[in-house]
């Protein structure tokens, strides 16, 4: 009888410790998922900061203000049209897509000069940062 009891106790202990490791595994998994989600906004705020800096450093700001048209359309107007057509700012900046905000040839030529000039030297991630900044600035 004692022996059976002993086996039973050992068995229960094994079950309990098994259960505990499982619980810990789950906890670990939850923690890793948390870390991933924690990092995502940080990365995107870095991206926004990079985009904002590029927008100034690369002189975009001298032709594009947030709210008012100067030489080029305002950031808000650009983003509104791009949202409306679900279009890609990055594709436009890469020169893959025609202008959709202002299609007057004289105006398009001004922006095209930038695309052919310095914008083509920007890296993919820089273009994405610029686009993310413009979208966030609306
Ligand atoms: C010398 C002035 C000037 C500078 C500098 C300039 N732009 Fe423009 N941009 C314009 C003009 C003018 C238009 C309107 C013509 C057009 O829409 O293509 C325009 C249009 C745009 C559009 C809308 C394109 C469309 O679909 O109609 C985007 C997006 C844009 N600019 C982004 C930028 C970014 C990003 C920079 C900096 C890397 C920049 N621009 C620098 C003058 C400028």
Q: What is the pTM of this model?
A: 0.76
Query: What is the domain-level CATH number for residue 101?
Result: 1.10.760.10
3-state SS string over 26-84? HHHHHHHHHHHHHHHHHHHHHHHHHHHHHHHHCCHHHCECCCCECCCCCHHHHHHHHHH
Closest ligand 1 atom to residue 59 Cα is 5
**pLDDT (tens digit, 9 = 90+) per residue, 118-137?**
999 999 999 999 999 999 98
Question: The domain containing residue 37 runs over which residues?
Answer: 2-136
Q: Is the pLDDT of residue 40 over 80?
A: no
CA distances from 33 to 25, 46, 98, 105 (A): 12, 21, 41, 50
Whole-number Å distance, alpha carbon 43 to ligand 1 midpoint, is 26
Give the tens place of pLDDT for each residue, 93-121: 999 999 999 999 999 999 999 999 999 99
Looking at the structure of the chain, the number of domains it has is 1
- Tens of pLDDT, residues 84-95: 999 999 999 999
> 72 CA distance to ligand 1 centroid (A)?
6
Q: How far apart are CA 64 and CA 56, in angstroms?
A: 10
H or E segment and range at residue 86: none
The answer to whether the CB of 111 falls within 8 A of the CB of 72 is: yes
Q: What is the pLDDT of residues 10-24, one digit of tens each?
A: 555 555 554 555 555
What's residue 27's pLDDT?
A: 53
Grade residue 38 by pLDDT with cuts at 50, 70 and 90: very low
Structure tokens that stand for 117 in this block: 């000039």
Average pLDDT value over all residues in the chain:
82
Around ligand 1, the residues with Cβ closer than 6 Å are 58-60, 62-64, 71-73, 78, 89, 92-93, 99-102, 107-108, 110-111, 114, 119, 130
């Amino acid at each position: 009888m004692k022996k059976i009891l002993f086996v039973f106790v050992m068995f229960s202990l094994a079950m309990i410790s098994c259960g505990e490791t499982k619980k810990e595994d789950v906890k670990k998994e939850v923690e890793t998922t948390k870390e991933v989600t924690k990092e995502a906004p940080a990365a995107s705020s870095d991206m926004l900061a990079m985009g904002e800096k590029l927008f100034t450093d690369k002189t975009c700001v001298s032709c594009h203000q947030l709210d008012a048209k100067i030489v080029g359309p305002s950031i808000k107007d650009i983003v509104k049209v791009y949202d409306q057509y679900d279009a890609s700012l990055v594709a436009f900046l890469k020169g893959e897509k025609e202008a959709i905000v202002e299609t007057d040839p004289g105006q398009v030529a001004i922006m095209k000069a930038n695309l052919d000039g310095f914008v083509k030297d920007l890296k993919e991630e820089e273009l994405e940062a610029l686009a993310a900044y413009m979208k966030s600035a609306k």
